[in-house]
Every structure is written in C-alpha cells, then in structure tokens.
Chains A and B, each alone.
Chain A
Amino acid sequence: MFSPSPKRTNGYLEAMLVYTDGTTDYWQFPRMDRLSFTERYSKERYRKFEETLADSKFADLWPDAARYIARHAPDPSKRPEMIMLILNWSDLVRNADGSFTDLPWQSRVFYRYRVEPEDLNPQ
C-alpha cells in the first residue's frame, strides 16, 4: 500500500452537465469524507475509480464515464448536451519546521464531452 509514494494531494471529482435548454447541473461522485462510516465502506471503489479517472494516462476512460453521467443526469426530464469532468484538489505541503499545510482548493475542467442522442439510449 502507498508505495512507492503516497498521494500528496486531497482531491475529488465532479461533473458539470449543460442541458440543451442552457441550464446547468452538477453530478457528484460519492465523497468518502461526506459519507457515513458504513456507506464509505461500500462506496470506496468510487474513490479508487476517481483516482484512475483523474490520471491522464487513462484518458480513454473519460468518454465512457461522461456517457454514464449523461445517462444518469440529476434531472431526467432534460437532455444533457455537454458533460465536463472537473478535478478539485488541494496539495499537502511540508513546511521547513516539519509541520504540514493544506493549500487552498483548486479546480480545473479536464475533459469535455458533447453528448450524442444515442449515448442516452444505447442498444
């Protein structure tokens, strides 16, 4: 575990959905720090998946993930047109005196996907 080096960043993913009527919505991945003890035990696989998804080496996963989110849009009465995958992160930095600091949270959109009609009703 945690080799050769543990992560030095706290982070989580979310997705922004732009509907055809121009309104927007957010799709939240399960955040371990906001779940109950029992929920986070069963949903931990999402944390692992998010870790992989945020890695550009696995960019081939992004279209599938965007399509999945489009099919599970928070508002089923609207049709999503665009999915944006967003990474939020805060670096852990070691100070000169041996203590550590969490740097402020930052965000960036790392993938945009234009949703096609067939993405919503796959065969």
Chain B
Amino acid sequence: MNAILAVWNRFFFAEQSPLPLAWFRIAYGLLVMITLLLLKPDWIPWYGTHAWMSLGTMRELEPGLRLNLFTILPQDDRCVIALFWIFLASAFLLTIGFLSRLNSIVVYFCLASIQQRNLYILHGGDTFLRVAGFFLIFAPAGAALSVDRLIRVWRGREQSEVPLRRLWAQGMIQIELSLVYLATFCWKLKGAPWIEGSALFYVFHLFELQRFPLPDWLLQPGILKLGTWSAMVLEFSLGTLIWVKRMRYKILAAGLLFHLSLEYSLNIPMFQWDMLSAYLLFVDPADLQRSWNWICVRVGPWLGKPVSVSYDSRSARTRRLVNLLVVLDIFHRLAFKPSGETGNRTSTASETNNRELILATSIGPCLGTDVRLILAKSIPLLWPLVPFCYFRTVAQSRK
C-alpha cells in the first residue's frame, strides 16, 4: 500500500521541470489559434444568431447545465465576432505565456462555449483539447518559456534557472491521452470490421475523407488487413505501454508515424496534431534540453560569433538584466562575465555607474545604445526590436 502511495505521490506531486509542459502550452495555444483561423469563414454560419442550428435547438437536443457563453451573450452577430476575437487574442497570449493562468481560463471558457454551441461539427481532437485545456488551468503553464517568466526574472523573483514545480495537472493530461487510446481500442473491439481486418478498406474508400493519394500497393486487401490490426495494436500500446519508461520513446515514435500517415491520407483537420501535442508531455525534460542543445550547436554558427558581455555583478539591476538576457538567449549566443573576470575591463564597468553592460567586440569594448543593437541582433527572440534599436542608435549618433 505504501509503495502504491509513494508511486502516486511521485507521479502527481514530485517536483519536476516544467519544460515539457511549457512546450505543450505553446503547442496547445498554436493549435487553438489554427483551429479558430480555419473556422473563421464560418464563425457566423456555425455560431451566429441565425446559424445552421439555433441556440434553442442545441439546448433541446443537449439539455442540462453546460458551460456556454453564447447563452449569456446578447443575440447579435457582432457579439459573436467579438467573442471570437477575444478568444483568438487570448490563445495568442497563452502561446507566448503572458498572464498564462488568466488566459488559460479565458481559452477554456471560450473553447468549451464554441463546442457546446455546436456539438455536431466536432471530432475527437476538439474534445481532447477541451479536456486538456481544463487541466491546463491548474498547471503552472507559464513556469517556463513564457513572458510571465521573463517578468518574474526581471523583477528578481526568479533566477536564470527554471524552478521545479509540482505537475499533477500535467499528469492528468498524460492520463487523458492514454485513456483516449485505450478507450478507442476497447471501442474498436466491438466493431466487426476491425476484428476481421476490413476497417481500413472502408476508411480509405470514403471519398469525403480522402486527402492525398495513396500508392496502389497500400490499398491491397492483405496490406489493409495488416494495417487495420496494426492500428489496434498501436492504440493499445499507446494506452498502456507508454507508461513503461523503457519502451516509451519507441511507442511515441510509432504513434508519431501513425498520426503523420493519417494526416497525409485522411482529411480530418488538426485531429492528428491535437493528439501529437500531448506527446511532448511524455518526453523527459533532460532529453528535451539535450535536443535543444543539439539544435543550438547546429543553428548557433549561422547566428554569428558569440558575444562576450561584461557586467558589474554588484549592481542588483544589472544582475537582473543579465538573468533576463540568459533566459532570452535561447541559442546561447552570449557569454557573461561578471566584473573582475575580464582583466582591464573591470575598471570600465565600475566607471559606468554599475548600470551598463559592456560588450567585447572585435573593435573594442562597446557601450550604450550600441549594446542594445548588438544584443538585439545576437538574440533571435529580440530580432523584432532590431529596427527600433537601429533607429535609436542613428538618432543618438546625430545628436
């Protein structure tokens, strides 16, 4: 009993890196935004006051208490459009991790509302997003890779290392994914075409679902039979063996191939990506970090030479600024040196009243507005600021 309790506590309440959750938040936000943009031409036909299905009919068909903001909105298409724009803006802010908790709540309420407004145009991926969105509200979604974290670092509440968090809500989304596969497998056991191996034939011969053409050899009865049974085995494995750490990556890789092949062959928009997004939660944070480092090593040389930044570590403001830059410098383009470590530049750092960063460049130390420009050029996340820094530098040089 104690062992079970220990496993339970470790799974739900042990402190872990929030990095996989942060990647999931980004993927989740993007998926919600893409779903909304794909729906955009039909916001009014599906959800307007005189839509394909009236709000009254929906209530009659699906009675009971439901989370549906449309029931309290004024019956006016302008309000419907406004709701969608607020939803889209909130999904964007959730993606970048600004006011993550608030925006996860707004996104969940809006997502639940549009789904409850018209339940008859949904697929499993939509439902998966809604349920995952509910758990995301309780997760520290903005703990890493977020604007929220940049603000905390700037305010001195966090250092450059991402603090560990309790991730029970992440565990719930993992369980959700596993249950989706397991339930699908059990449900398929009740269908004769899946047992006799003919299910994929029907699936690939439905004109309305076809996307890109498949080679003829893949449509042979023997191959389709094998494919039908393989899909069932894979769904069972994704629902169970995914929890066995030793087998996890192999199962995830097979699941990835499975969903990508369905994305190619079947026209079910976003379903495959909705499911795949939760795979990120099963990746070990250390492996995510290793993968990122691998990318940095390959991308880094294309971003120019690393820049050496010297700063006065006695100034609290400068330390916070350096922490902020460390967090922003995702491709590790900056090398930070506290004053006292850069030889003769120490005196220069002290002379600048502890507030300035000094960059070591090929033409000597660099200060002031030039620093901002060089930093903005060196850190890809700051590239949007390059034009502003450039104009400021030019304006200062004219003065």
Contacts and interface: CB of A to CB of B under 8 A. Distances in A.
A6 B199 contact: yes
B188 A4 contact: yes
Contacts of A52: 120-121
A1 B269 contact: no
A48 B184 contact: no
Contacts of A37: 211-212
Nearest to A98: B221
Interface string B37-78: 011011001100011111001001100000000000000000
A64 B210 contact: no
Interface in A85-107: 92, 94, 98-100, 102
Nearest to B275: A1
Interface in A4-51: 4-8, 10-12, 31-33, 37, 40-49
B207 interface: yes
Number of chain B interface residues as a range: 35 or more
B193 interface: yes
A32 B209 contact: yes
Contact of A32 (B39, B188, B192, B267): B267
A44 B269 contact: yes
B385 interface: no
A98 B39 CA distance: 40
Among A42, A45, A49, the one with the most B-chain Cβ atoms within 10 Å of its Cβ is A45
A67 to B, nearest CB: 8
Contact of B120 (A42, A49, A100): A49
Contacts of A6: 191, 193, 199, 202-203, 206
Contact of A45 (B46, B61, B210): B46
Contacts of A33: 207-208, 210
Nearest to A1: B124
Contacts of A92: 201-202, 205-206
B207 A100 contact: no
B205 A61 contact: no
Interface of A: 1-8, 10-12, 31-33, 37, 40-49, 52-53, 58, 60-61, 63-65, 67-68, 71, 92, 94, 98-100, 102, 122
26 contacts: A1-B262, A1-B268, A1-B271, A2-B199, A2-B203, A3-B194, A4-B188, A4-B194, A32-B207, A41-B267, A42-B38, A44-B268, A45-B39, A48-B122, A61-B61, A64-B57, A67-B50, A68-B50, A71-B50, A92-B201, A92-B205, A92-B206, A94-B198, A94-B201, A99-B221, A100-B201
